[in-house]
Amino acid sequence: MEKRMKEAIRYLGYGRNTADERTRIMIENTFTEMDKVSGPKYICRVFAVKQMEDEIIKIGNMEITSRSLSRNLKGCTKAVLFGATLGPGVDQLIRRTSLTDMSRAVIQQACAAAMLEEYCDEKQQEIGRKLEEEGLYLRPRFSPGYGDFDIHYQEPIMRMLDCAKNIGLTMTDSYMMTPTKSVTAVIGASPVKERCPIAGCEACSKTDCEYRR
Amino acid sequence: MIREQLGNKLFFFDGGMGTLLQERGLAPGELPETWNLLHPEEIRGIHRAYIEAGSDIVLTNTFGANALKFHADGYSLEETVKRAVQLVKEAASEAGAGTGEEKESTGKRRIYTALDIGPTGKLLKPMGDLDFEDAYEAFKEVMVWGEEAGADLIHIETMSDTYELKAAVLAAKENTSLPVFATAIYDERRKLLTGADVPSVIALLEGLRVDALGINCGMGPEQMMPVLEEYVKYSSLPIIVKPNAGLPKQKDGKTFYDVSPEEFAGYMEQIVSMGACLIGGCCGTTPEHIRAAVQRCRNMKISRPAEKDYTIVSSYGQGVMLGDGSKIIGERINPTGKKKFKQALKEHDLDYILREGIAQQDNGAHILDVNVGLPDIDEPAMMKETVQELQSVVNIPLQIDTVDSEAMEQALRIYNGKAMVNSVSGKQESMDKVFPLIRHYGGVVIGLTLDENGIPDDAEGRVQIACRIIEEAAKYGIRKKDIVIDALAMTISSEPDGAKVTLETLRRLRDEVGVKTVLGVSNISFGLPSRPVINAAFYTMAMMNGLSAGIINPLSEDMMKAWYAYHALMGLDANCERYIGHYSSMQTSASGTAPAAEHRGMISLKESIEKGLKEDAAAITAELSEVQDPLDIINTELIPALNCVGDGFEKGTVFLPQLLMSAEAAKSAFAILKDRMDKSGEVQEKIGTVVLATVKGDIHDIGKNIVKVLLENYSFDVIDLGKDVPAEQIADIVVKKKIRLAGLSALMTTTVVSMEDTIRMLREKAPWCKVMVGGAVLNQDYADMIGADFYGKDAMQSVRYAQELFENGK
């Protein structure tokens, strides 16, 4: 089964169960539908990383206090600030479908989430290949809100990337990203190659999560 | 001044600012506008370099200077803006140029100071959380300061959202007397980030009467040319083109652009010859780029763009052009003669109205008429809200249909695009009221061929009124292309010649007056039996006589058949593709593979719901209700089916999509039974009323919507307050209606705070009301901490809690 199909099924709360054929066909069709309305875009910039004291790290001019991010970036000399969005068309479609058929709306929601992850993975691999030429290897993406990496860091990250202008990604006063199917992240780059290039879910400490892979 | 010279003289803007500041040490994320106060000499130096390179129009360093984006402690925004204007003027003086402040003619080259206005960096409601009027206010204050400080014009640029663009242009037009330029940022699909196409942006800006419009940023000059081609095709106003120095590239963590000044100049020469009247550069361009472009293009002849004759209405996503075949204006959002619609309006059931809009678009409507006029409702407020909500779920243009000029103005103001307006008549009073609004906000207005003397009974009289409307509009600068004449269909049951007169009027309006036309088609059959027979035939005849747009019911199969057939027959449907696309799929469903026909008679209603077969459930219910009492069907089929699925979900054998498919199937069955019961006067007793809301600051409402569908299935009345709902609003309704249970959702830690506030307010104002909460970051501990009565891990748990609460309370 395609990876994004598996992911969508997981987001729909199936856990380790498989979805019935009808649901799988609906998911398949929904991916096709979402491909038409989504306009994925991303932006990234590479900054120098400095480990300050314990739990304090500096990316470019941004100082961040976070034990989990410090751990994630340990040994990194650079970090990629990354922002990506599927665009407003996806939100509009989900909102529209919510009015007429909630079962389709939740499937659209799950498919969009899976598409966004897939898109970020793809872009991260592209970025990784380029940085490998400079002898740098990427760590798993780490987003504001993971562990003790405070969600409020989303604001300076989006400013440093000029997300609004470059990819149309903005934020509400309560730090929600708009369009909603969007990601900001820090991706560490270290001169030492390690084993796991992409890992999101598994790295989380909330081991009792029902959506865990 | 500059207004008079636009389109007659080639103007040169300056080039990039941000890239030059970064070279001088501006850090990523640092606010460039603070440099107006911190390093004025650097800013002035850059301005001067551009002036010396040949720029006529210099942008102030205020791109991000608005209260929503400029959060720099210790810097006054007003001072930052005003200083920015002075810096351009100082640079001009230093360079020996004039700024327009000289008392007498000095013969110096004149430099124009353009107040640069960039986007707020926030997304407007309903996609984001910024209110249209708040965006307007943020732009307004900066523009007023800019004018006070002596700016010569307002330059709005890099706009990626038509709604924000409209707020900015309105702020400029309503609060300053300065010329307004507006440019937008496109991607390689020739669309704005929010999806708008070129014709829709131009229609919006021309309607708002900007002085020049165009394209900036996003692309290099080469990639911009296809966008420019479209601008040249549609714009009647002088066009601005300000490309980047190519597409951004990255090296060593730095962004750079690699189109050289010479290459840039070559492209700009081509751009001017294509029709641009004002050129300059954006990101990555330098004084050298501008110098090279000035040298290359300086002596080129330009001409003002020709006046275009397109009638275009637009939504946030697309422009719809009248005149290319016949367009369909959906008539169903209108309470006239519709009991359910009236009830929806009275109960403020916006979802019902929105579903009417979606269904019409799905059936082929190009534009939606919106009429919410009803005695006893606040029409301006309702109209405004309906337009706002509709434009968040349908991306086709709306037609604002009201006789209340207050409602018309409010709707036009917040409408995201260039609206169609229904209507003005030949009565002087009507024209005096409506035309100023069209002049101010833009729009395509329907002119009814009636006046103080009523409706002329011949074509000549109607054509004369049409001409008078066009003449009167011209006094306001409203052009014929922005008027669509309603030839008026009068029922043939009382006027034997009614159809003939209308058709002749249509033909003469097309051939002699050269104006677009519209009709409320179905009026023709009023009072007759089997109205669709007459309507469809008349519709075809009207299109044949030049009808540009018919106001019809797109859900009427007869009307749509007439529409598809007409376009196929008249060569308006290339290779009959549209016709084939529509009717070949219809055939297969008619031949027996339609889901509704598939299982009928083979499965029970209960099974169809358990399996989530929506069409089957509806079909079976319709049949069953012929022979069985609706309440009986609910108790023996629907409720057991829902219980079975609900139990399965709780046990982990049924999953969310299936649970909701069953819920939707049950909903379709309930709808049919409710119709039956309404007719027989029978009522199904509801268990109780639950208020649902996604709390203030939170815009993720899918979880709340799931709970809503399920609660309704289980016979609860749900008052859905939507998303981003202030605590007071929730408390008010709970108090007013003595609600016993409120359900709140919040997605993030940042919004659980407002959930806590809401609970606190409910405790204070409505201590009787229980509160259940749900959302991604919540758990039992968290819910306890914020004082909720119940934490629903999933939607079924919320239903169970509600059942327990209401049933125990009985």
CATH number for position A145: 3.40.109.40
Taking the CA of residue B614 and the nearest CA in chain A, the distance in Å comes to: 10
Chain B positions in Cβ-Cβ contact with residue A170 (cut-off 8 Å) = 121-123, 128
- At position B579, the amino acid (one-letter code) is Y
Strand-pairing partners, residue B250, are B255
Q: Domain B2-297 is of which CATH architecture? A: Alpha-Beta Barrel (3.20)
Question: Number of structural domains, chain A?
Answer: 1
Interhelix angle B261-274/B287-297, rounded to 10 degrees, is 50
3-state secondary structure B254-306: EEECCCCHHHHHHHHHHHHHHCCCEECCCCCCCHHHHHHHHHHHCCCCCCCCC
Cβ atoms of B331 and B365 within 8 Å: the answer is: no
What's the sign of the alpha-carbon dihedral B414, B418, B422, B423?
Answer: positive
Taking the CA of residue B165 and the nearest CA in chain A, the distance in Å comes to: 14
Taking the CA of residue B68 and the nearest CA in chain A, the distance in Å comes to: 10
B722 touches chain A (CB under 8 A): no
Task: Report, as an integer, the average pLDDT of B690-696.
Answer: 96
Closest CA to B770 of B742, B732, B800: B742
Taking the CA of residue A102 and the nearest CA in chain B, the distance in Å comes to: 6
Higher pLDDT, B70 or A212: B70
- pLDDT band for position A16 (cuts 50, 70, 90): confident
Taking the CA of residue B19 and the nearest CA in chain A, the distance in Å comes to: 13
Please give the CATH number for the structural domain made up of B688-809: 3.40.50.280
- pLDDT band for position A211 (cuts 50, 70, 90): low
B160 touches chain A (CB under 8 A): yes
Q: What is the pLDDT of residue B492?
A: 96
Taking the CA of residue B312 and the nearest CA in chain A, the distance in Å comes to: 23
List all residues of chain B from 8 to 27 with a beta carbon under 8 Å from chain A.
27
Burial A13-47 (b: 16+ CB within 10 A, else e): bbeeeebeeebeebbeebbebbeebbbbbbbbbbb
CA B114 to chain centre: 29
B656 touches chain A (CB under 8 A): yes
- pLDDT tens-digit readout, B293-336: 999 999 999 988 999 999 999 999 899 999 989 999 999 999 99
- pLDDT band for position A202 (cuts 50, 70, 90): low
Q: What is the C-alpha to C-alpha distance for residues B140 and B153, in angstroms, rounded to an integer?
A: 14
Q: Please judge whether A156 and B217 are an interchain contact, meaning their C-beta atoms are less than 8 angstroms apart.
A: no
Give the up-direction half-sphere exposure of residue B604: CA atoms within 13 A in the CB hemisphere. Answer: 9
Q: What is the pLDDT of residue A209?
A: 65
Taking the CA of residue B711 and the nearest CA in chain A, the distance in Å comes to: 13
A178 touches chain B (CB under 8 A): yes
List all residues of chain B from 575 to 634 with a beta carbon under 8 Å from chain A.
612, 614
State in words which class domain B311-581 has. alpha beta
Among left, alpha and beta (phi > 0; psi -120 to 50; other), residue B158 is left
Q: What is the C-alpha to C-alpha distance for residues B738 and B145, in angstroms, rounded to an integer?
A: 49
Question: Which candidate from B28, B655, B701 shows the least CB-CB separation from A160?
Answer: B28
Taking the CA of residue A72 and the nearest CA in chain B, the distance in Å comes to: 20
Residue B19, φ and ψ in degrees, nearest 5:
-65, -35
A16 touches chain B (CB under 8 A): no
Q: Please judge whether A165 and B217 are an interchain contact, meaning their C-beta atoms are less than 8 angstroms apart.
A: yes
Residue A74 lies in a domain: yes
Residue A210 lies in a domain: no
Nearest CA in chain A to B652: A14
B129 touches chain A (CB under 8 A): yes
Taking the CA of residue B391 and the nearest CA in chain A, the distance in Å comes to: 10
Report the run of H or E that residue B20 belongs to, with start and end: helix B18-23
B749 touches chain A (CB under 8 A): yes
Q: Please judge whether B655 and A39 are an interchain contact, meaning their C-beta atoms are less than 8 angstroms apart.
A: no
Task: Report, as an integer, the average pLDDT of B605-612.
Answer: 94
Closest CA to B280 of B50, B3, B61: B50
Closest CA to B770 of B648, B656, B673, B688: B688
List all residues of chain B from 408 to 467 with a beta carbon under 8 Å from chain A.
none
- At position B792, the amino acid (one-letter code) is G
Q: Please judge whether B193 and A103 are an interchain contact, meaning their C-beta atoms are less than 8 angstroms apart.
A: no
A102 touches chain B (CB under 8 A): yes
Q: What is the pLDDT of residue B650?
A: 92
Nearest CA in chain A to B188: A39
**Is the model's pLDDT at A92 over the cut of 60?**
yes
Quote the percentage of chain B above a pLDDT of 70. 97
Query: For residue B482, what are its two tokens?
Result: 């922005």
What's the sign of the alpha-carbon dihedral B555, B556, B560, B561?
Answer: positive
Query: For residue B633, what are its two tokens?
Result: 């069907």
Give the up-direction half-sphere exposure of residue B208: CA atoms within 13 A in the CB hemisphere. Answer: 32
Residue A116 lies in a domain: yes
State in words which class domain B599-680 has. mainly alpha
Interhelix angle B405-414/B428-441, rounded to 10 degrees, is 10
Q: What is the C-alpha to C-alpha distance for residues A151 and A155, in angstroms, rounded to an integer?
A: 8
Nearest CA in chain A to B193: A168
Does this chain's domain B2-297 share its CATH topology with B688-809? no
Question: Which candidate from B29, B705, B748 shows the least CB-CB separation from A176?
Answer: B748
Spell out the residues 6+ positions from residue B523 whose beta carbon is closer than 8 angstroms to its own.
B488, B489, B490, B491
Q: What is the pLDDT of residue B298?
A: 94
Query: For residue B407, what are its two tokens?
Result: 């409602």
Residue A13 lies in a domain: yes
A193 CB-contact burial (10 Å; exposed 0-12 / middle 13-18 / buried 19+): exposed
Query: For residue B642, what are its two tokens?
Result: 């829902």
Residue of B610, B720, B750, B777 to mutate when probing chain A, most A C-beta within 10 A: B750
- pLDDT band for position B119 (cuts 50, 70, 90): very high
Domain boundaries, chain B: 2-297, 311-581, 599-680, 688-809
Chain A positions in Cβ-Cβ contact with residue B351 (cut-off 8 Å) = 99
Q: What is the pLDDT of residue B586?
A: 66
Residue appearing with tokens 């011209």: B474
A176 touches chain B (CB under 8 A): yes
Q: Please judge whether B657 and A107 are an interchain contact, meaning their C-beta atoms are less than 8 angstroms apart.
A: yes
Q: What is the C-alpha to C-alpha distance for residues B217 and B158, in angstroms, rounded to an integer?
A: 6
Burial A201-210 (b: 16+ CB within 10 A, else e): eeeeeeeeee
Tell whether ipTM is more than 0.85: yes
Q: What is the pLDDT of residue B111?
A: 96
Q: What is the pLDDT of residue B347?
A: 87
**Is the model's pLDDT at A189 over the cut of 90?**
yes
B574 touches chain A (CB under 8 A): no
Residue A197 lies in a domain: yes
C-alpha dihedral, B700 to B703 to B708 to B714, nearest 10°: 180
Q: What is the pLDDT of residue B254?
A: 73
Q: Please judge whether A61 and B660 are an interchain contact, meaning their C-beta atoms are less than 8 angstroms apart.
A: no
Cβ atoms of B205 and B213 within 8 Å: the answer is: yes
Nearest CA in chain B to A168: B193
**Is the model's pLDDT at A100 over the cut of 60?**
yes
Strand-pairing partners, residue B518, are B486, B549
- pLDDT band for position A193 (cuts 50, 70, 90): confident
Q: In the β-sheet with B278-279, what is the strand arrangement from edge to edge?
A: B11-12, B278-279, B239-242, B212-216, B180-184, B153-159, B112-117, B57-59
Nearest CA in chain A to B779: A209
Domain that holds residue A102: 3-202
Q: What is the pLDDT of residue B412?
A: 98
- At position B497, the amino acid (one-letter code) is D
- pLDDT tens-digit readout, B570-608: 999 999 999 999 998 765 444 333 444 455 567 899 999
Question: Which runs of consecutive H residues, i.e. helices, occur in B61-179?
Answer: 77-94, 132-149, 162-175
Q: Tell me how many residue pairs between chain A and chain B have CB atoms under 8 A apart.
A: 161
Task: Report, as an integer, the average pLDDT of B165-193.
Answer: 96
Q: How far is CA B588 from CA B221, B323, B479, in A?
A: 50, 33, 47
For chain B, how many residues are written?
810
